[in-house]
């Protein structure tokens, strides 16, 4: 079993962090993992994307033309990557910033107002965690409890952010279940 997840959006949206947390969660669960970031020199406001590959065997190549899943946080990312997602994958769309859909009927598409949910949880800066939790819940790629533990470890040095991110996870899971 191998799964590829593309996280994509603007720099500053926490794309690389979301992917890092997913990769760490998969690694802790015993999977082989590859985390490959890509971002422009301008970072904040520029484009950023990151591929996470996880599998139960060694990963032969980190180059993936057709990921199984996509978490799109902005419209340019959806337009660029949705056409190459493998049939049967999950495409999560941040409907706060993306007024269109993928146009695919062979994927499990879910549109969630990630930014609004993050604001309700306490801060728009937790939008990446809302999206990550919604994706994990919808795809079933890893247990949500494992994700919670990884987020707690990631924010251990900034413990005051842990309650906000736990709320973001809860709300992301609720949105995935409702959608």
Q: For residues 90 and 179, what is the distance between their CA atoms, to the nearest angstrom?
A: 12
Q: What local confidence, expressed as pLDDT, does residue 69 receive?
A: 98
Q: What local confidence, expressed as pLDDT, does residue 62 receive?
A: 86
Ordered domains of the chain (ranges, CATH): 2-178 (3.40.920.10)
Indicate the SS3 state at residue 77.
helix
**pTM summary value:** 0.95
Q: What local confidence, expressed as pLDDT, does residue 42 receive?
A: 52
Size of the chain in residues: 179
Contact residues for 160 (Cβ-Cβ < 8 A; gap 6+):
none
Q: What local confidence, expressed as pLDDT, does residue 44 receive?
A: 61
Per-residue pLDDT of the chain (179 residues; tens, 9 = 90+): 899 999 999 988 999 999 999 999 999 999 999 999 987 665 566 779 999 999 999 998 888 999 999 999 999 999 999 999 999 999 999 999 999 999 999 999 999 999 999 999 999 999 999 999 999 999 999 999 999 999 999 999 999 999 999 999 999 999 999 98
Other Cβ atoms less than 10 A from the Cβ of 110: the count is: 19
DSSP state of 83: G
Q: For residues 6 and 28, what is the distance between their CA atoms, to the nearest angstrom?
A: 20
Angle subtended at Cα 29 by Cα 151 and Cα 14, rounded to the nearest 5 degrees: 30
Q: For residues 76 and 109, what is the distance between their CA atoms, to the nearest angstrom?
A: 17
Q: What local confidence, expressed as pLDDT, does residue 120 receive?
A: 97
With CA atoms as reference, report the closest residue to 172 among 18, 17, 50.
18
């Amino acid at each position: 079993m191998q799964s590829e997840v593309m996280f994509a959006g603007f720099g500053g949206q926490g794309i690389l962090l979301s992917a890092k947390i997913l990769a760490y969660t998969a690694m802790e669960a015993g999977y082989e993992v590859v985390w490959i970031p890509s971002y422009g020199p301008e970072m904040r406001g520029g484009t950023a994307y990151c591929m996470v590959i996880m599998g139960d065997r060694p990963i032969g190549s980190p180059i993936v033309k057709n990921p199984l899943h996509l978490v799109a946080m902005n419209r340019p990312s959806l337009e660029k990557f949705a056409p190459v997602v493998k049939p049967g994958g999950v495409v999560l769309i941040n409907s706060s910033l993306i007024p269109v859909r993928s146009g695919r009927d062979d994927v499990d598409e879910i549109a969630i107002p990630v930014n609004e949910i993050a604001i309700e949880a306490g801060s728009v800066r937790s939008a990446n965690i809302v999206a990550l939790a919604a994706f994990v819940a919808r795809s079933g790629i890893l247990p949500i409890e494992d994700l919670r533990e990884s987020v707690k470890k990631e924010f251990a040095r900034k413990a005051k952010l842990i309650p906000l991110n736990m709320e973001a996870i809860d709300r992301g899971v609720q949105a995935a279940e409702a959608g």
